[in-house]
Structure 1
């Protein structure tokens, strides 16, 4: 048997005291230092174009067309993080024939009355992209990644001489103003035989999520110097952005296949007057545009951080200066000016660490 002397016993007691009192304190300091390190992310967060995101019941659902401009399907991904995309699940595939059998562009996901609706553009063929019309899908259940049924084509302008009876239209977005549901989209004044045709923004009332119930009203044309100068003047990708008593439409202008793609703004002057009055919209721009390191910023959608304390924009940029549709997806926080309008700032170059959205863990 080993005999422990007083010195050994005292030494062991000191070790025990250290383990009981000082080690937890040291661990606490180390833990506190780890907690203080900010969580960050870098752009881009993915590949693709025309991003649409919506925050619902603690998750971010992102709706996209599958693949490039020649897509034939639509997917929805799910993630608890705004800064990290989830796995895309295909929820709808275009039919083999018909007006919406090809060129599935810019789908958007919206939630009304416990159902999900996807608004998208499609054509029977292309290029040339002269056949694009807009349609809507409705979920069978209250599951954005579940099955959808085709609710048909939207009446975005009548043309009795066209086989669909409808005027060319893309990028449908919907929103409520004073309780009334409205659709806003990019369209042509009339159907043409060339896709080198100028695009305008139109608005109309909806009687339900799949029916446009009023005549369309043109509220914007590419008539400003900063909307012109490229191979094709256009307005497209309109998105309602509402906060407090202010109603904005943030849209894209110039050409999506060039580095000059940028965002502009329409503001509803008087919310007590009709949004169908073209004179009730005030134009401003550009409100967000690229630079030497960030090219072709456009087609944004908007959401809030997980805790609702911050506003974020979700947009795409071009990967190269050469004309084309190779693009990536980015998110960036924005703030609000004292007059109630959004302040988007300047696009942050890829690879720079940014704090994750507030409340994201």
Structure 2
């Protein structure tokens, strides 16, 4: 049985108060009492962007997003996350005929090079999907011809993102173990540069829990988004269940303190979804959404997209995700970008059984708000 012990998160760190004020003001979020049972849900509403897979970062006081219409990648910029709703989109890359089916572009600034990278999947829409990368000195323009990322084993790959953790660059993505669509796993590999991996790929999550197998064929773990908690521990928050259903939801992987990101048994999985519209799949102590169905494929709105700027405990920070408004037929074509918020939730225990290592791990979880 899941053991969840919740305490109010710690106060915000004084050295980050300036960043906190800027970020919260831009998102229109007001900090509230965060003790258990007293959190007030304030819906942020639709951004009016009829698309999927949002990727949003902050650069200074400007917010940038990237999106795909299936064949092209566009950028938007605004003074707030909600402001992206009225921002014109600018074409930053148009796919040639040999690179169709452009999926889920991810924008991030690489701390090592100082350049902005957009990672995306392209291919035949089936077994041929592979990861590509393009870069620029500016977040909203100037991107060149993408290059194929030769990921370890060369298998189907989507939803990739790079990040630094403990002075090592990593790449995390959703992929197949073989050449057939049996299930989508999460993989991580070390990187030697922002566009090249080195060594093997390592599986860190498979969709094997009952709550992430409600809708399948295939069963999926996808859209991994790394973030670092106030204790310095690495998290990868991902989407589970079929993206074509209202069972789509967000779940969490937390790396144990001092753990190795490439060792699967150093990761602890939340005992249910942490953001979803169906109570039956949610972790005990988490509540279903009120206004949307099937929230998933999110973006933590971080400074430069860098997990080194992950927020402190104690307050809400901006989030973007896609979902379908309640009362609307759930389909890919009805997905809309939403702005919301998230915060760290302290003293949360994730439990497991029948695998190497300790059966429980207690640390920060996450709460998500519409």
Query: Which of the five TM-score ranges fits, normalised by the shorter chain?
Result: 0.7 to 0.9
Deviations 1:110-145 (A, max 9, x none): 11223111000011x34xx22211110011xx2122
Tell me if 1:154 matches 2:142.
Answer: no
2:275 pairs, out of 277, 285, 288, with 288
Tell me if 1:132 matches 2:133.
Answer: no
Q: Which residue of 1 aligns with 2:12?
A: none
**Gaps in structure 2 of 5+ consecutive residues:** 1-28, 31-41, 279-289, 304-310, 348-362
Q: Which residue of 1 aligns with 2:107?
A: 109
Q: Which has the higher contact order (CA 8 A, sep 6+)?
A: 2
Could you tell me whether the CA contact under 8 Å between 1:151 and 1:210 is conserved in 2? no
Deviation at 1:323, TM superposition (A): 4.2
Could you tell me whether the CA contact under 8 Å between 1:318 and 1:325 is conserved in 2? no
Q: Which residue of 2 aligns with 1:203?
A: 188
Instruction: Name the CA distance, whole Å, in 2 between partners of 1:58 and 1:109.
Output: 16
Q: Which residue of 2 aligns with 1:344?
A: 367
Instruction: Name the CA distance, whole Å, in 2 between partners of 1:58 and 1:293.
Output: 29
Structure showing greater Rg: 1
Instruction: Name the CA distance, whole Å, in 2 between partners of 1:343 and 1:187.
Output: 25
What pairs with 1:219-258 in structure 2 (closer than 5 Å)?
A: 219-232=204-217, 233-244=219-230, 245-258=232-245
What pairs with 1:292-303 in structure 2 (closer than 5 Å)?
A: 293-303=291-301
**Gaps in structure 1 of 5+ consecutive residues:** 1-37, 159-165, 349-361
Tell me if 1:51 matches 2:39.
Answer: no
Tell me: CA distance 1:179–1:330, structure 2 relative to 1, closer, same or farther (3 Å).
Answer: same
What pairs with 1:1-361 in structure 2 (closer than 5 Å)?
A: 42-46=44-48, 47-65=50-68, 67=69, 71-85=70-84, 86-97=87-98, 101-112=99-110, 113-123=113-123, 125-126=124-125, 129-139=126-136, 142-158=137-153, 166-192=154-180, 196-232=181-217, 233-244=219-230, 245-271=232-258, 273-284=259-270, 285-290=272-277, 293-303=291-301, 310-319=316-325, 320-339=328-347, 341-345=364-368, 348=370
Indicate the SS of the match to 2:274.
strand
Q: How many residues are matched?
A: 288
Instruction: Name the CA distance, whole Å, in 2 between partners of 1:83 and 1:293.
Output: 17
Indicate the SS of the match to 1:182.
strand
Runs of 4+ in 1 over 3 A off after TM superposition: 38-42, 319-325
Could you tell me whether the CA contact under 8 Å between 2:187 and 2:202 is conserved in 1? yes
Deviation at 1:154, TM superposition (A): 1.4
Could you tell me whether the CA contact under 8 Å between 2:103 and 2:121 is conserved in 1? yes
Could you tell me whether the CA contact under 8 Å between 2:214 and 2:247 is conserved in 1? no
Deviation at 1:324, TM superposition (A): 3.5
Deviation at 1:297, TM superposition (A): 0.6
Deviation at 1:322, TM superposition (A): 4.2
Deviation at 1:332, TM superposition (A): 1.2
Instruction: Name the CA distance, whole Å, in 1 between partners of 2:242 and 2:174.
Output: 13
Tell me: CA distance 1:221–1:296, structure 2 relative to 1, closer, same or farther (3 Å).
Answer: same
Indicate the SS of the match to 1:75.
strand
Indicate the SS of the match to 2:66.
strand
Indicate the SS of the match to 2:275.
strand
